[in-house]
A and B are shown apart, each in its own frame.
Chain A
Amino acid sequence: MSLPTAPRTVAAPLLLIGLLAGAPGGAEAQFRWNVIRIEAPGETREGADLRRGGTSDNPQVSINAEECVSATTVVTQTIMFPTEFTNLDVWRGRGLDCATEGNRNIMTGACEHVETINMDAQAMREVEFPVTELLPCDDTTANGVTYSFAGLATDAAQDRGPVDASAAFELQLDVVGPAAPTGVTAGTGNTQIPVRWDGVGGVQSLFEYRVYGDESGADCEASADTFVPGTSPVATTNANSTSTNVSGAALGLGFGDSVRVAVTAVDRARNEGALSEPVCVTRVETEGFCATHEAEGGECDGCSVGGTPARAVGLSGLALAALAGSMRRRRYT
């Protein structure tokens, strides 16, 4: 895929004139180039929130399906640039070091030119890129691919020769959500109706599970394609959990009523996968120990006195520690 190559100057409001990079002229001049912000409608990601793609063991800066679709989503970087050069020449490769001359060879190189930016003799500045300029958002076969972006300090445009200074960052394209959970079951209850499912593979790449109620009004025997999920989930769990409880009242159920629920998985890049097969939950009126005890002729006289289990052992432990501390180094008698 070829991208625009004309030199570009970033609009003034976005410029940051900062300290000189201090890079001397000549060979091996160094500068840094990082993703510092991803802006999308309704959300701006910065800092630790940038690296929410990949897996929990290997987090990566990723772009999800929603960010790819939005035309206003941008990637913002801070650049420390050797001011003896004129342009920042941007190249992209799939896991390649595009600063290497051979990877930019017009015949055999696998790197693609993205664009050339006139740096206006500034060492430090922010540069915005529409994400669609950086990543092939329409290419689902590229899902999961980590792209390396090399910025070359040069006086040319689309420079395919050797360069003295370069910097790089990576972006992962993650536009496909996880598979739908399977093995979903649900039960009966009142305020805590259990819903369980089999975990989607690769828990390290998951962020959470969501449970949705059906708003179509269809009965439990309706086909799955009639399921209309609510705008918000009725319950969410972390990626390590494969069960949760839903409230009958939160689902809008009266006693004896039923509704379907379905579960989705969300990956770390916040792509939400497909809905599971819907299952039926039924709200019933339930009784606990006291009601059962009274039904059998017992007495269960309740009022408002209570305590917490943590205090029970904690009190003993604290008292023991206090006594032991006060007796430390007791004189031998």
Chain B
Amino acid sequence: MTRGLAFAAACGAVALAAGSPAAGQTFADDNYRGPPRAVGSADPFVGQIGVGLWEPDPGTGAFGTLFDGDQGPLIQGEIDYLPLRIPYVGRLGVGLQVGWARYTGDAIVSGSDQRSDEEASLTLFPLAALAVLRVDVLPRHLGVPLVLSGKIGADGIVWRSEVGERTEARNVTFGLRWAAQAALELDFFDPRAARRLDDEWGINHTFLFFEVFGSTANTTLTLTTDLAWVAGLGLAI
């Protein structure tokens, strides 16, 4: 009996000393990276870059007349700072979006409806300052790698209209921007690679995202958008 108790105690001591390695790994495993990361670890910075389609509505038929269905594309980047942690919901903070889109078509001959061979263009440079709520309860608590985000804030679109080498007009128009995003975290594809990325670069998560947005910008030029989209890649630090 004493011998059995001693043996059991020894086994227990060994088990305790071994800690709790990740599933499938042992203490002696060269790839062992320590215990799993604690839920709710800090990742207050999020950055993303993407490409999408965007056709603003100026309120007249001019966009369709001149650019004939051209939808950009829109290239857009964003940096978010999310310092506030809402337990069991996600993170709250602010974000800055910058983008670029250009639309081209054949300029119209003045006084007629004929097209010339000269290029007319409209270049848009949207800047948005947003309040961002990033709901990450699904991956952190339920193991579902899906993060949902809601954004709303001020939208300023710098625009420039050109014909050939001549600038017709340029200004900035203001309004309200909203956006909703679904992001697929890529950690679950290769947790070891994700852990190495975190250890070496401090990148907690990488994700693919799809975002829809709208805008009411119309102070100098109406460039309202009911629904447009952008998709791309992001990372949380």
B-side contacts of A307, CB under 8 Å:
125, 158
In the complex, are the beta carbons of B117 and A323 less than 8 A apart? no
What's the Cα separation between A315 and B60 when bound, in Å?
A: 33
In the complex, are the beta carbons of A319 and B125 less than 8 A apart? no
Contact mask for chain B residues 137-170; partner A; CB cutoff 8 A; 1 contact, 0 none: 0000000000000000000001011111110111
Segment at the B interface, from A33-41, A222-230, A291-299: A291-299
Closest A residue, CB atoms, query B47: A320
In the complex, are the beta carbons of A299 and B61 less than 8 A apart? no
Q: Shortest beta-carbon distance, A95 to chain B, in Å?
A: 49
| A residues contacting the other copy or chain, number (CB 8 A) | 52
Q: Shortest beta-carbon distance, B99 to chain A, in Å?
A: 6
In the complex, are the beta carbons of A299 and B222 less than 8 A apart? yes
In the complex, are the beta carbons of A289 and B66 less than 8 A apart? yes
Closest A residue, CB atoms, query B117: A187
What's the Cα separation between A190 and B37 when bound, in Å?
A: 64
Residue with the greatest number of chain A CB neighbours at <10 A, chosen from B41, B61, B62, B162: B62
What's the Cα separation between A131 and B61 when bound, in Å?
A: 67
Contact mask for chain B residues 93-107; partner A; CB cutoff 8 A; 1 contact, 0 none: 000001110110001
B-side contacts of A291, CB under 8 Å:
108, 110, 168
In the complex, are the beta carbons of B62 and A298 less than 8 A apart? yes
Residue with the greatest number of chain A CB neighbours at <10 A, chosen from B58, B98, B111, B117: B117
B199 located at the interface, meaning its Cβ lies under 8 Å from any Cβ of chain A in the complex: yes
Q: Shortest beta-carbon distance, A188 to chain B, in Å?
A: 5
Known A296-B61, A307-B158: A193·B117 in contact at CB below 8 Å = yes
A316 located at the interface, meaning its Cβ lies under 8 Å from any Cβ of chain B in the complex: yes
What's the Cα separation between A315 and B108 when bound, in Å?
A: 35
In the complex, are the beta carbons of B60 and A192 less than 8 A apart? no
Q: State which of A286, A315, A333 has its C-beta within 8 Å of the C-beta of B38.
A: A333
A-side contacts of B68, CB under 8 Å:
none
A-side contacts of B61, CB under 8 Å:
296
Segment at the A interface, from B11-19, B73-81, B207-215: B73-81
In the complex, are the beta carbons of A300 and B120 less than 8 A apart? no
A-side contacts of B172, CB under 8 Å:
305
B-side contacts of A26, CB under 8 Å:
none
Q: State which of A192, A293, A328 has its C-beta within 8 Å of the C-beta of B118.
A: A192
Q: Shortest beta-carbon distance, A313 to chain B, in Å?
A: 5
Q: Shortest beta-carbon distance, B49 to chain A, in Å?
A: 6
Contact mask for chain A residues 316-331; partner B; CB cutoff 8 A; 1 contact, 0 none: 1101100110111110
B-side contacts of A189, CB under 8 Å:
107, 116-118, 164
- Which residues of chain A from 25 to 67 have a CB within 8 Å of any chain B CB? none
A106 located at the interface, meaning its Cβ lies under 8 Å from any Cβ of chain B in the complex: no
In the complex, are the beta carbons of B165 and A296 less than 8 A apart? no
B194 located at the interface, meaning its Cβ lies under 8 Å from any Cβ of chain A in the complex: no
- Which residues of chain A from 299 to 317 have a CB within 8 Å of any chain B CB? 299-309, 311-313, 315-317
Known A192-B165, A293-B58: A324·B110 in contact at CB below 8 Å = no
Closest A residue, CB atoms, query B98: A312
Total CB contacts across the A-B interface at under 8 A: 203
- Which residues of chain A from 253 to 303 have a CB within 8 Å of any chain B CB? 284-293, 295-303
In the complex, are the beta carbons of B164 and A188 less than 8 A apart? no
In the complex, are the beta carbons of B164 and A316 less than 8 A apart? no
Closest B residue, CB atoms, query A286: B107
Known A286-B116, A305-B172, A329-B200: A190·B237 in contact at CB below 8 Å = no
In the complex, are the beta carbons of B201 and A324 less than 8 A apart? yes
In the complex, are the beta carbons of B116 and A297 less than 8 A apart? no
In the complex, are the beta carbons of B122 and A289 less than 8 A apart? yes
Q: State which of A306, A309, A329, A330 has its C-beta within 8 Å of the C-beta of B100.
A: A309
A143 located at the interface, meaning its Cβ lies under 8 Å from any Cβ of chain B in the complex: no
In the complex, are the beta carbons of B79 and A320 less than 8 A apart? yes
In the complex, are the beta carbons of B120 and A289 less than 8 A apart? yes
In the complex, are the beta carbons of A309 and B125 less than 8 A apart? yes
In the complex, are the beta carbons of B201 and A316 less than 8 A apart? no
In the complex, are the beta carbons of A298 and B222 less than 8 A apart? yes
In the complex, are the beta carbons of B164 and A192 less than 8 A apart? yes
Q: Could you jot down 5 A-B contacts, CB within 8 Å?
A: A190-B116, A288-B168, A293-B63, A308-B125, A330-B199
Which chain A residues have a beta carbon within 8 Å of chain B's beta carbons?
187-194, 245, 247, 284-293, 295-309, 311-313, 315-317, 319-320, 323-324, 326-330, 332-333
Q: Which 9 A-B pairs have the closest CB atoms?
A: A302-B169, A316-B77, A327-B202, A187-B117, A189-B118, A191-B164, A192-B164, A288-B163, A330-B202
Additional 7 contacts, C-beta under 8 A, given A289-B121, A300-B161, A302-B220: A288-B107, A290-B168, A298-B59, A300-B221, A302-B171, A312-B75, A333-B37
